[in-house]
Amino acid sequence: MAMRDTLDFLLYGWLQSESLNQRERFADHSRETFDAVLDTCERIAREKFAPVNRLLDTQEPHFDGERVHLPQATREALDAYVESGMLSAAQDYENGGMQLPCTVEMAANAFFSKACIALGGYAMLTNGNANLLMAHGTPRQREVFAKAEFEGRWFGTMCLSEPQAGSSLSDVATRAEPDGADSENDPLGPRYRLRGHKMWISAGEHELRENIVHLVLAKIPGPDGKPVPGVRGISLFIVPKWLVDAEGQLTGERNDVVLAGLNHKLGYRGTTNCLLNFGEGRHQPGGQGGAIGYRVGAPGEGLKAMFHMMNEARIGVGLGATMLGYAGYEASLAYARQRPQGRPLTATGKDAASPQRPIIEHADVKRMLLAQKSYVEGALALELFCARLVDEQHTAEAEAAGRARLLLEVLIPIAKSWPSEWCLEANSLAIQVLGGYGYTRDFPVEQHWRDNRLNMIHEGTHGIQALDLLGRKVVMEGGAALMALARRINETISAAGQVPGLAEAANQLAQALAQVGAATKAAWATGEPEAALANATPYLQAFGHTVLAWIWLDVVLALAPDDTRDFAQGKRAAQAYFFAYELPRIAAWLAVVQRREALCREMQDAWF
Amino acid sequence: MAMRDTLDFLLYGWLQSESLNQRERFADHSRETFDAVLDTCERIAREKFAPVNRLLDTQEPHFDGERVHLPQATREALDAYVESGMLSAAQDYENGGMQLPCTVEMAANAFFSKACIALGGYAMLTNGNANLLMAHGTPRQREVFAKAEFEGRWFGTMCLSEPQAGSSLSDVATRAEPDGADSENDPLGPRYRLRGHKMWISAGEHELRENIVHLVLAKIPGPDGKPVPGVRGISLFIVPKWLVDAEGQLTGERNDVVLAGLNHKLGYRGTTNCLLNFGEGRHQPGGQGGAIGYRVGAPGEGLKAMFHMMNEARIGVGLGATMLGYAGYEASLAYARQRPQGRPLTATGKDAASPQRPIIEHADVKRMLLAQKSYVEGALALELFCARLVDEQHTAEAEAAGRARLLLEVLIPIAKSWPSEWCLEANSLAIQVLGGYGYTRDFPVEQHWRDNRLNMIHEGTHGIQALDLLGRKVVMEGGAALMALARRINETISAAGQVPGLAEAANQLAQALAQVGAATKAAWATGEPEAALANATPYLQAFGHTVLAWIWLDVVLALAPDDTRDFAQGKRAAQAYFFAYELPRIAAWLAVVQRREALCREMQDAWF
C-alpha cells in the first residue's frame, strides 16, 4: 500500500480537508489544488531528496577552520525545494504565499522528511524563523528578513541553547547591549551588540545561500549591569551572518558571528550542527567587535515570541520522527516480501525439502510489520490531526477555534514525544526484520534508526515534554484542556459503540481514558509538584498510548463498515493490533503515577 | 559504586563462588586466585582495551581487494589479552589451562566486553571454536588446532550462515565432497573439498595471527549426488586459512578460502565481518581448487556439535550486551553527577537566581539511571548465575548437575535475549541522560547503543530465541525444565516471604510466576504450534522480566537485613525499581499469549 493512499485517506476520508475551502482564507482551494501540491512534493522528494539521503550521511559536513564544506547534492536538492514554493506555501497571497492550510502543508512536507530528514531541517528552520518574524517582527523586519527567507534566498536558524544551558533556557548567558547612542533609531530595529556562545545550532553555518538569518535569545543587562535571572530577562534578536541595509541589500560587511566548531553526530548528519561564537571580535562590523543584532518585540519578551511558533515546530519534529519510522516500515515491508527464509509452521512440522518462503509469511515478522504500521500510520494521523487543529485555531469561528487551541495545548507534548519514542522503536523493528542485513550500511534502516534518535532530544526532551504535559497542560485553566480532549475522545467512543466490531474497542478506550483521568487526579492529590511530577514520563507514555488508541479508533470509524478492500482491512488490523498489544501497556505506566511512587525522587546519588 | 564491588558481591556474597573449590576440579583455587584473575583482566581491559574502543569504531577494517587492514591497536590489545592466558583459562592443567570455573572466566571477560566489545569478539570466537574441538575433535585435531587457539597463536571462526541461509540453517548450501581416494586416511581427519559462500563471518579475515581456523557447516552429498535436505544433512569441518601438516606446522600453502567482501556495519566495527568464498579456485591447494576441510565428528552430526557450545556462546553474547549497557550506565552516571542544569522543583517554584544543580538531582534523571542500574546489574547477575549453572552441570554430583542442565535449558534463551533488548534500552537511556551531548560522537554512549544493536540479531535472533523458549524449552521432557525453574523461583519467594520489606515483592513475584505458568498452558491448549507460537516474542519478554525480577529478589536476599551501606541501599532500590516499574509490564505481554491472539498470524500480506 503506497503511503499516498494512506495520506489521501487521512486528509480527505478522515479529516475532510476539502471542507476547509468553506473558510474564506482557503476559498480558492479544492482537492485539486491540494493534490497538485502533494504531487509536486512527492515527486521532488523522490527525485531530488531520496537519492542523496545516504550520501549526506556518509559525506558529513566538514569544517576546515575557515569554511564548511557540504556535498554539492545538498544545494541541488534544496534548490528544488525552494523552487517548489513550499517555504511560503502557508503565507498570505499578498506576501507571495499560496494560503495553503497547515494540514496540507504538513502532509506535503511529510514526503521530504521521509526521503531525507537532514535536508528537511534547513527548510523547517527557515520557515519557522520567517513565521516568527511575521508574527513578532516590525513591518520592515518582515519585509527584509522574512521575505528573503520565504523566497529561499536566505536560510534561517533558531539560536536558543548554549553549552551550559540546554533544557534550562533561563540560564542563557549571551548578552545584548545597546549599540551606541543611535541604537534605537535603526530602521531594522533597535540595534544591539551580542556576545556569547550558542550550541546545537542546526543549519548554523553553510554557504548554501547568500545569507543566514540567526534568531538569537540573549539577555539585556539591567540598570545594575547584570542580566535579569530567569526567563523574564530573555529578549529576541535578528543576527544576520552578513549585514544588510534598510532595503535588505547585502552591504558586504561580515557580522561578528563565527563558527567555533561542528558537532559530529550519530545521525541527521546532512544538517550542519554548530557551536557559534557571537561577538568575539573575529569580525569588526562598524569598526568594532560584537555581533550586531536587531531586537524583535519588546525587551524580556523573547522566549514568549520564540514559543509562539512552538506548536508548529513540535508538530514538525513529531512528523519528522513519524516519517523516519515510515521509511523504515516501507523498507522492511519490501524486504520481507522478497526475502525467502524458513518455512511455515504446521501441525506436522516443516518439510525441509520444500522451497523457502518469504519471511512475511512468519507470524513474528508480521507482528513486527504490524507494530510498525500501527506506530507510523497512527502517528501520521495524529500529526495531521494536530495540523488541522492549527487551521481550526486560525480560521474557524471563535468557539471552535478556542476548542482547537485547548486541544492543541494538551496534544502537542504527545505529537512531539510519541513518534520520537515509538517510531524509533519502529526503526528498530525494521532492522530486526532485515536481520544481519539490517545491521549493515548497505540498507537504509540503520540510518533511519540513527537519524530518529535525535527526536527525543531536540525541541524539548522527552522529560521536558512530560513536565509540560503533567505539570502545565492537564492542569491549565482548571483542567479545561484535558476536559476538551476527554470530550473529543468520548465522541469517538460513542460513535464506535454503535458500530458492530468496534464496541469492544470503544469500551477498552473508555476504560483507558478513565484510568488516565484517575491517575491525573491522584498525581496532583497532594498538590506537591515534586510528588506529582516524579513520574511525569510514565504518565506521558500512558497518555500518549491512550491518545493513539483514540486516533486509531477514530480513523477506522471513517471507513465504511462494508468496505472490505485490502486497504480497509489493513487499517482495521493496525487498529486491532494497537488495542490488543499496545494499549494494555498503560496499566504499568499509570500504576506508579497513581500512587505517586517516590522511589526515583528518593533515590540518593551515593546509592548508584 | 565501581562495577568491581558489584561483581565481587555477586560472585562471593550471592553465588558463593568460593565454595567451588570444594569440587575436585577447582581444588587449587580460592578467592585469592579468582581475585588475581579478575585484577589482571580489569587492568588489561582498562589499559589496553578501553583506550582504543573509539579508534576501532572510527578506523573501520578496510579491504583493498587483496588484504584487510586493521588499526595496529587491534593487534596490540589482543596480544595483551593472549598473554593474560584467558583463552585457555577454563581448560585442564594438562592442556595448559588453569581450570578456572566458568563463573570466574565469564566475570573476568566482562571487563573486556565493557572496555571494547569488538576486540572481545576475536577472543570469544577463538575460545568457542577451540572448546568445540576439545569436545568433538580427534586427539590430533585437538592437539593441532585447539591447542594453537588456546595459546593464541591462531584465531578461530564459526562459519554457519550463508547469504540465503541465516536463521534457517537447514538450507545451508555449502557442499563438501571427499578429497580423493585417500581422503579417509588424513591424520588431521577425513579430508574434503568445500565449495560455497559463508556470510556474517566475524573475524573471518585478518592478519592478526599466523593462521585462522574456520569451523564450517557444510553438506556432504548423498549417493544421488544431492545434499540431504534439512539439518540432518549438515556436517562440520575444520578449514584452516593456511594449510598445516600433521604436526601443526604451517606448510606455506594457502587454502582456497577467500575474502569476498567486508560487511560495513552500524557498530561492532572493530571486529571484521566477512563474506567468505570457499573453493572458488582462487588458490589451488594440492594443485586444484576447492577448500580443504577436515571433518569433525560423524557425517550429519555437524549442527549437534556446533550447538554443543551454544549455551556458553549465548551466555557470552548476553554478557556482552550486558556490559555495553553497563558501560553506558557508568558514562551517564558520571555525566549526571557533574553536569549542572536546572533547579529542583519545590512547592514554591524555582529560584532562577540560585545556581544550577547537577542533573542527578532531578527525579526523571534518577529514574533513567535507576532503570539502567536495574537492567545492567540484573543482567550481570543473570549471566553469572547461568555461568555458575555451567559449572554445576560439569562438576556437581549427578542430581545437582541434572538440575543445572534443566535450568540452563530454559534460562539460555533469556540469558541471550533479555540483555540484548533491555541493555540496549539502557544504552538509549544513557544517550537521553546526556541529551544533545549524548547524540554526538564526542561521548561514548552513542557507540554503545550502535554496538549493542547487533545482539538481538546474531547468535539466534530474538524471534528464534522466543521459538526456542516457548516451542522447545518449556515443553521439553514433559515440562521438566520449566518446573525446575519454578521450584528454584519458589525457593526465593519462600525465603523473601520471611524478610520484612520483601514480603510484598515475594507475593508479586509469585503472582507473576503463576501468570507465566497459566499463559504457557493456555498457549499450548490446542496443541497447534502455529497458534501457540504466534505470540512467542511477547511470551519471551514476559518470561524474561519474570526471571529478572526473581534474580533481583534473590540478589537482595543475599544482603544482610541490617546492612544500610550505600551499596546495599542501591541494590534494594534497583530491586524495588524493577518490581515497581518493570515487572507490571508482563500483564500486557501475557494477555495475547493467554488468548492465543491470532491477529498477527492471520494478517495478510496484501493488507500491509
Element of type H or E holding A199 = strand A191-202
- Which among B442, B573, B577 is the nearest to A264, CB-wise? B442
Are A418 and A521 part of one and the same domain? no
Chain B residues close to A603, C-beta within 8 Å: 366, 369-370, 573
Are A448 and A513 part of one and the same domain? no
pLDDT value of position B351: 81
Are A496 and A592 part of one and the same domain? yes
Distance from the A92 Cα atom to the nearest Cα atom in chain B, whole angstroms: 36
In chain A, residues 165-204 whose CB comes closer than 8 Å to chain B: 165-168, 170-171, 199-200
Determine the Cα–Cα distance for residues A282 and A204; give it in Å rounded to an integer: 17
pLDDT value of position A345: 77
Quick check: is B17 in a domain? Answer: yes
Distance from the B605 Cα atom to the nearest Cα atom in chain A, whole angstroms: 7
Are B456 and B556 part of one and the same domain? no
pLDDT higher than 80, residue B507? yes
Quick check: is B503 in a domain? Answer: yes
Distance from the A225 Cα atom to the nearest Cα atom in chain B, whole angstroms: 15
pLDDT value of position A346: 74
pLDDT value of position A576: 98
Q: Do A573 and B599 touch (CB under 8 A)?
A: yes
Quick check: is B349 in a domain? Answer: no
pLDDT tens digits for range A79-111: 999 999 999 999 999 999 999 999 999 999 999
Q: Do A450 and B266 touch (CB under 8 A)?
A: yes
Residue B405 is which amino acid? R
Interface predicted TM-score (ipTM): 0.98
- Say if A5 is an interface residue toward chain B (CB within 8 Å): no
pLDDT value of position A157: 97
- Which among A345, A573, A608 is the nearest to B603, CB-wise? A573
CB atoms within 10 A of CB B114: 28
Determine the Cα–Cα distance for residues A20 and A404; give it in Å rounded to an integer: 15
Q: Do B344 and A370 touch (CB under 8 A)?
A: no
- Say if A284 is an interface residue toward chain B (CB within 8 Å): no
pLDDT value of position A344: 80
Quick check: is B351 in a domain? Answer: no
Is A157 in contact with A209 (CB distance < 8 Å)?
no
Are A375 and A484 part of one and the same domain? no
pLDDT bucket at A239, cuts 50 / 70 / 90: very high
Number of domains forming the structure of chain B: 3
- Say if A549 is an interface residue toward chain B (CB within 8 Å): no
Put residue B287 in one of left, alpha, beta given phi > 0 → left and psi -120 to 50 → alpha.
left
CA of B233: which chain A residue's CA is closest? A352
- Say if B219 is an interface residue toward chain A (CB within 8 Å): no
Is B294 in contact with B191 (CB distance < 8 Å)?
yes
pLDDT value of position B228: 87
Q: Do A577 and B600 touch (CB under 8 A)?
A: yes
- Say if B605 is an interface residue toward chain A (CB within 8 Å): yes
Q: Do B600 and A263 touch (CB under 8 A)?
A: no
pLDDT higher than 80, residue B23? yes
- Among the three residues A416, A442, A460, which one is the final residue of a domain in this structure? A460
Are B128 and B251 part of one and the same domain? yes
Determine the Cα–Cα distance for residues B146 and A49; give it in Å rounded to an integer: 53
- The whole-number average pLDDT for the span A52-68 is 95
Chain B residues close to A431, C-beta within 8 Å: 266, 453, 457
- Say if B508 is an interface residue toward chain A (CB within 8 Å): no
pLDDT value of position B481: 98
pTM: 0.98
Are A29 and A93 part of one and the same domain? yes
Determine the Cα–Cα distance for residues A509 and B241; give it in Å rounded to an integer: 62
CA of A168: which chain B residue's CA is closest? B342
pLDDT bucket at A263, cuts 50 / 70 / 90: very high
pLDDT bucket at B350, cuts 50 / 70 / 90: confident
- Say if A159 is an interface residue toward chain B (CB within 8 Å): no
Is B86 in contact with B39 (CB distance < 8 Å)?
no
CB atoms within 10 A of CB B541: 23
Q: Do B601 and A170 touch (CB under 8 A)?
A: no
Alpha helices in A194-309 (DSSP H): 302-308
- The whole-number average pLDDT for the span B47-51 is 98
Quick check: is A350 in a domain? Answer: no
Q: Which domain holds residue A411?
A: 301-342+356-460
- Among the three residues B393, B427, B460, which one is the final residue of a domain in this structure? B460
Quick check: is A45 in a domain? Answer: yes
- Long-range contacts for A28-32 (Cβ within 8 Å, ≥24 apart)? A28/A99, A29/A99, A29/A100, A29/A101
- Say if B460 is an interface residue toward chain A (CB within 8 Å): no
Residue A487 is which amino acid? R
pLDDT bucket at B309, cuts 50 / 70 / 90: confident
Cell numbers standing for residue A56: 549526506
Active site annotation includes B143: no
- Among the three residues A438, A460, A482, which one is the final residue of a domain in this structure? A460
User: Which is the catalytic residue, given B247, B459, B477, B530?
Assistant: B459
Q: Do B266 and A366 touch (CB under 8 A)?
A: no
Are A149 and A100 part of one and the same domain? yes
pLDDT tens digits for range B191-205: 999 999 999 999 999
Quick check: is A495 in a domain? Answer: yes
Is B176 in contact with B198 (CB distance < 8 Å)?
no
pLDDT bucket at B240, cuts 50 / 70 / 90: very high
Chain B residues close to A463, C-beta within 8 Å: 362, 364-365, 432
CATH (domain of A455): 1.20.140.10
Determine the Cα–Cα distance for residues A546 and A516; give it in Å rounded to an integer: 8
Determine the Cα–Cα distance for residues A234 and A222; give it in Å rounded to an integer: 11
pLDDT value of position A457: 97
Picking from A366, A363, A181, the residue whose alpha carbon sits closest to that of residue A286 is A181
pLDDT higher than 90, residue B307? no
- Say if A300 is an interface residue toward chain B (CB within 8 Å): no
Determine the Cα–Cα distance for residues B463 and B534; give it in Å rounded to an integer: 10
Are B438 and B524 part of one and the same domain? no
pLDDT bucket at A69, cuts 50 / 70 / 90: very high
Distance from the B446 Cα atom to the nearest Cα atom in chain A, whole angstroms: 7
Are B534 and B402 part of one and the same domain? no
Determine the Cα–Cα distance for residues B23 and B21; give it in Å rounded to an integer: 5
What SS3 class is residue B279? coil
pLDDT bucket at B280, cuts 50 / 70 / 90: very high
pLDDT tens digits for range B529-561: 999 999 999 999 999 999 999 999 999 999 999
pLDDT value of position B395: 97
pLDDT value of position B308: 82
CATH (domain of B234): 2.40.110.20
The rounded mean pLDDT for chain B is 96
Are A511 and A433 part of one and the same domain? no
pLDDT value of position B346: 74
pLDDT higher than 80, residue A377? yes
pLDDT higher than 90, residue A309? no
pLDDT value of position A348: 73
Is B290 in contact with B179 (CB distance < 8 Å)?
yes
Are A325 and A450 part of one and the same domain? yes
- Which among B343, B450, B600 is the nearest to A370, CB-wise? B600
pLDDT tens digits for range B145-202: 999 999 999 999 999 999 999 889 999 999 999 999 999 999 999 999 999 999 999 9
Determine the Cα–Cα distance for residues A442 and A243; give it in Å rounded to an integer: 44
Quick check: is B350 in a domain? Answer: no
Q: Do A453 and B428 touch (CB under 8 A)?
A: yes
- Say if A456 is an interface residue toward chain B (CB within 8 Å): yes
Q: Do A341 and B166 touch (CB under 8 A)?
A: yes
